[in-house]
Amino acid sequence: MTHVLDGNAVSDRIRSNLQTAIDHLRDSGVTPGLTTVLMSEDDASRTYVSMKQQACEDIGIDGRTRRLDAEQPAEDLFDLVKELNARADVHGILVQMPVPDHVDKRRVFRSVDPMKDVDGFHPENVGRLVAGNARYKPCTPHGIQKLLESAGVDTAGKEAVVVGRSDIVGKPMANLLIQKAPGGNATTTLCHSQTENLTEKTRQADLVIAAAGYPELIDGSMLSEGTTVIDVGINHVDADNEKGYKLVGDVAYESAKQKADVITPVPGGVGPMTITMLLYNTVKAASLQTETPVDLPWVGLPSVGGARDADKAVFAGGDFGNTLSRMRSGKESFLLWFLAYPV
Ligand code: NAD
């Protein structure tokens, strides 16, 4: 039977573990702080920012939003980022994308202090990720790794196909999958809009991660039996309902489910994980910047025997319930883990 990955359940589990870390930080006089900068009138961006703010409030992170008009000069944005870089109570800074056309997106990435870059988009953090020494993994790919871990999907030695090469999802996802580390060790193919014969690639895959922003691009006929299918896409398509639209992924869910062993739904799959991993990175940022060690139960896969050695680590097989119960029993030093095994 196909295992439908419940992103909300995994996300709740990670958030409750993070809560412990946040409580500990606060007991030590540190309130993790995340400031989101919004320079857009775009409805989707505003919704994402308010969801992030709410998630921070719910868990005890000092979440703030700074708004700029879309018409303001680019320098206003860079001045604001400079101010936030200098503030000790702001541990994480996120500039909501997209920014207006007159603002250089790459300069935005470069302007955020790399220690506060909880999106993981600063060139220093991108370089660290590629080099296998990540400080902050980009939230969506990191959330996908956690989802795979939660289902006991071992990526080592598998054929993985990532569809989409954006800086936010596709490229960092492929970079994580090729690392000699837990959640990596996959033989990875990165497909994009110029890829010829996509079906040939996806049919050979044990793991397909669809992040093309193209409704139902991947259907069951493009998959082999037993594939793990992760659907990142969020697409609005016209529908005969009150709203006049519905959300669909980049995967044709019903037909793909006939072939897949493991699959994520849209909504309720990858989506909830993205904000959770932003909270995770913010807690990590606060811990690193204040040199305050925090203990929390294992938020990813539990250690299996001596699974602290990244090269020897094995992913747990078995059902999700067993995985969760092992997660509950593991207590690790968050800071030590961060330092020794950057996640
Ligand atoms: P993007 O538009 O920046 O990149 C899309 C990529 O897909 C491009 O690299 C392009 O080359 C490739 N592509 C497009 N059409 C293709 C095709 N027919 N065949 C092969 N490759 C093709 O998009 P993005 O920011 O990476 O987002 C991708 C999707 O994921 C969007 O639907 C977005 O809304 C969604 N998304 C979801 C989350 C989440 O938390 N669930 C987070 C980020 C993005």
CATH assignment of the domain containing 253? 3.40.50.720
Q: How many distinct structural domains can be found in the chain?
A: 2
Domain endpoint, select from 219, 251, 267: 267
* Together in a domain, 147 and 256: yes
The per-residue pLDDT for 298 is 53
Q: Is residue 249 part of a domain?
A: yes
Same domain? 202 vs 227: yes
| Cα–Cα dist 322/24, whole Å | 27
96 catalytic? Reply is yes
Span from the CA of 233 to the centroid of ligand 1 (angstroms):
6
Please check whether residue 235 lies inside any domain of the structure.
Answer: yes
In the structure encoding, which two tokens stand for residue 87, read together? 């503030």
Task: Say if residue 166 is in the same domain as residue 87.
Answer: no
Distance (Å) from CA 97 to ligand 1 centroid: 14
H or E segment and range at residue 187: strand 187-191
- Among the options 6, 52, 117, 179, which is catalytic? 52
Ligand 1 atom index nearest CA of 273:
40
Q: Is there a single domain that holds both residue 163 and residue 283?
A: no
- Are 142 and 225 part of one and the same domain? yes
Residue 333 CA to ligand 1 centre (angstroms): 36
Both 149 and 220 in a single domain?
A: yes
Q: Are 171 and 62 contained in the same domain?
A: no
The verdict on 293 and 195 lying in the same domain is no
Residue 305 located in a structural domain: no
Place of tokens 């703010």: 53
Rg (CA), the chain: 20
Centre of ligand 1 from the C-alpha of residue 212, in Å:
3
Residues 259 and 146 occupy one common structural domain: yes
Sorted by sequence, the CB contacts under 8 Å of residue 193 that are 6+ apart come out as 212
Task: Please pick, among 6, 116, 117, 119, the residue that the annotation labels catalytic.
Answer: 119
Q: Yes or no: say if 272 and 139 are a contact pair by the CB < 8 Å rule.
A: no
Whether 6 is covered by a domain: the verdict is: no
89 is catalytic: no
Specify if 330 maps to a domain: no
Residue whose CA is at the smallest distance from ligand 1 atom 4: 166
Tokens, residue 196: 């010829």
Residue 317 lies in a domain: no
| CA-nearest residue, atom 19 of ligand 1 | 193
Q: Whose CA is nearest to atom 39 of ligand 1?
A: 271
Residues near ligand 1 (Cβ within 6 A):
140, 163-166, 168-170, 191-193, 195, 198, 211-214, 217, 232-235, 270-271, 274
Q: What is the pLDDT of residue 295?
A: 65
Residues 70, 176 within the same domain: no
**Structural domain of 106:** 27-117+274-298
Are 153 and 186 found together in one domain?
yes
Residue 61, domain CATH: 3.40.50.10860
> Is 223 within the bounds of a domain?
yes
Q: Please say whether the beta carbons of 140 and 271 come within 8 A.
A: no
Residues lower than pLDDT 50 in the chain: 297, 299, 301-343
Residues 222, 176 share a domain: yes
* 128 CA to centre of ligand 1 in angstroms: 23
Q: Which atom of ligand 1 is nearest to the CA of 249?
A: 32
Any domain includes 310: no
Identify whether 52 is a catalytic site residue.
yes
